[in-house]
Amino acid sequence: MSVNKSPITRRTNSLTRRPASRQRPRRRVVGATLVALVLCVGATLVSPGASAQLSQQTQSLDGSGNNRNRPDWGRAGTAYTRVAAARYADGRSRPVSGPNSRFVSNRIFNDANQNLFSENGISQWGFTWGQFLDHTFGLRDEAGTVANIPFDQGDPLESFTNTLGAIPFTRSAATPGTGVSNARQQTNTVSSYIDAWAVYGGTDTRLDWLREGSNDGNPNNNSARLLLDPNRLLPRRDARGNAATAPTMAADGRLTGQPGRAMVAGDVRANENIALTATHTLFAREHNRIVGLLPRILSEDTKFAIARRIVIAEQQWITYNEFLPSLGVRLPTYQGYNPNVNANLGNEFATVGYRAHSMIHGEIELETDAARYTDAERAQLEAIGVEIIPSEEEPGVVELVVPLNVAFFNPDLVGLLELGPLLQGIGLEAQYKNDEQIDNQLRSVLFQVPVSGNPGCLDGPELPECFEGVVDLGAIDIERGRDHGMPTYNQLRNAFGLPSRTSFRAVTGEATELFPADPELTPGDEINDPNSLDFVRLIGRDGQDIPLDSEEAESSAVQGLRRTSTAARLRAVYGSVGNLDAFTGMISEPHVAGTEFGELQLAMWRRQFQALRDGDRFFYGNDPNLNFIRLVYGIDFRRSLGDIIALNTDIPRNELEPNVFLAPVD
């Protein structure tokens, strides 16, 4: 596939084109409408946080005042809401006991190095956009106590070495006033709205640093543009000189030793992986592109506020018109803003329902012109574990395969790979199936730095050879549920209006929850036999069998049958369905037809995303200011994610899928 590498040219929105004879009158109209802008739109477009008098009228940075009657609804720093009662061992704070979460992970979440892909062909934009949203509306207060997960090196299903002796885990901090004489609650430290928090942050101090211009803590005297480096990438923490005075950014893995090199964005987690960092970068560019379309007569602060309003609406538009429909999440028709709907993020949704970590692909693949990279850049990429493969079909084109571990906390890769090919690459291949299987890049070596100098062991069966520590996101997901007092699986189903399941086979939809009489299994101890995880059959999207260990098995399988059923292993681990952790049960359910979700997870997504829409006074369907901006300035927020990628990179729109959330079909 050929990729245009010519300099980016500004694409003109068709709404801004005018016959030459009308140029001068049009400029007079824009000037004349400035007063109207201030009167009609200014109350909601002035820089957030700039005036206490307008705090109830503006779209604030921290979510406060969105609901005029209940200004704390959705505000950063408030407790997550609950659908079900909290469940603690002592009724207040102590987590309930259960099987060791790494023990569960090794038997239920272990994918045995077999890829299974989305049966609906959802591209890796599914989990990438999902994470970008997650970092817009949810972040727990992490300042709790250490409660590490015990690690058993002698587990017969354990293939990784862990010199730490435990899996690091810290409880979420208790919301003040809870957990002593009443049930412990947890705090969401970001606003609950879909409001581009990940782009702009939630405080004037962070926004002041992010905007070009002075750095005095007051963003209202800055440029309308967001600060980018000369290559139009996110600025580093040392971009303004002293990294110690820059906004806090999470630094783990490769960034631990050089936190000053972290890229800075609205949310602290922007460097977690290169797909996420690239998405942050895309919308910073998009903000600046919109600023460039606005008349110079407007103040910098007004231009900033208009661009921010459009970016927020774009994020909402993509979420409700591309992301959710692609995943099969259908909502009732929008009836307008409802001030009685609390848009606060639910604890069950944040702690269980939105944890779709099995979707995350173990690698990111790009295709682009070989000439895009110099010999030195190619050598640099290969040295850190990026595989570069010449295309057999298209001369001059290369495929780059980036193992997920290499993509963790490695912002330098965004510049090396270049933003256009990286964003295009996210949409080239289907994401993994949203099921109980989690890739070892997340299930065992999350954010870990390899100890071996051999990049060949950064993926696949050889992965354990590269690492001496274990961080298991699946085990942490279980533990987080217990930490937050989540109900059991059946209790959670009941809370969302679903009937209880009375057997494990009813949970998974399988025919049996008994271990087979199989000579390859140890009778009476099947749950501890590594052979229990063997795949015996693979099926593609067309329903046809795929040969085991074939090339097609690595790229096309959407369903896999193992020597033992998931239901049998769940029964051996938990004993009774009444003991089943909500997270484990939820991801073990069969999918509702045409969706990426089981029955419980789908119900949770529908409820939360409807509340985020209906309870947001600034949702795009309720804001006449967006139409005003379109009529006066010709800027329309109704753009697909593919449109925004093409407008801000050197990838032409016709080289992206019409809906980038759907991977191309071979």
DSSP 319-363: IIIIIHHHHT---PPP----TTS--PPBHHIIIIIT--GGG--SE
Measure the CA–CA gap between 44 and 56, rounded to whole angstroms.
Answer: 10
Least confident of 13-17, 205-209, 239-243, 253-257: 13-17
Measure the CA–CA gap between 106 and 110, rounded to whole angstroms.
Answer: 5
Q: What is the pLDDT of residues 229-241, one digit of tens each?
A: 999 999 999 999 8
List, in order of start, the domains of the chain with CATH numbers.
Answer: 1-47+121-140+186-335+347-357+404-434+591-666 (1.10.640.10)
Least confident of 22-26, 38-42, 545-549, 597-601: 22-26
- Phi first, then psi: what are they for 586, rounded to 5°? -60, -50
pLDDT at 617 over 90: yes
Average pLDDT of span 362-386: 92
Q: Express as a percent the part of the chain with pLDDT over 90.
A: 80
pLDDT at 3 over 90: no
Average pLDDT of span 89-107: 97
Indicate the pLDDT class of residue 455, thresholds 50, 70 and 90. low
Q: What is the pLDDT of residues 179-226, one digit of tens each?
A: 999 999 999 999 999 999 999 999 999 999 999 998 888 888 899 999
Residue 424, Cβ neighbours under 10 Å: how many?
24
Least confident of 253-257, 397-401, 424-428, 514-518: 253-257
Q: What is the pLDDT of residues 462-489, one digit of tens each?
A: 888 888 889 999 999 999 999 999 999 9
DSSP 233-272: -PPBTTTTS-GGGSPP----GGGTT-GGGSB--SSTTTTS
Greater pLDDT, 580 or 41: 580
Any idea what DSSP says for residue 108?
A: I
Q: Where are the beta strands (DSSP E) in 77-172?
A: 78-79, 149-150, 166-167
Measure the CA–CA gap between 281 and 620, rounded to whole angstroms.
Answer: 23
At which residue do the structure tokens 């049930």 appear?
183
Residue 157 pLDDT:
96
Any idea what DSSP says for residue 86?
A: -
Indicate the pLDDT class of residue 39, thresholds 50, 70 and 90. very low
Measure the CA–CA gap between 447 and 202, rounded to whole angstroms.
Answer: 26
Average pLDDT of span 624-635: 93
Q: How far is CA 454 from CA 346, 384, 464, in A?
A: 44, 9, 12
Residue 38 pLDDT:
36
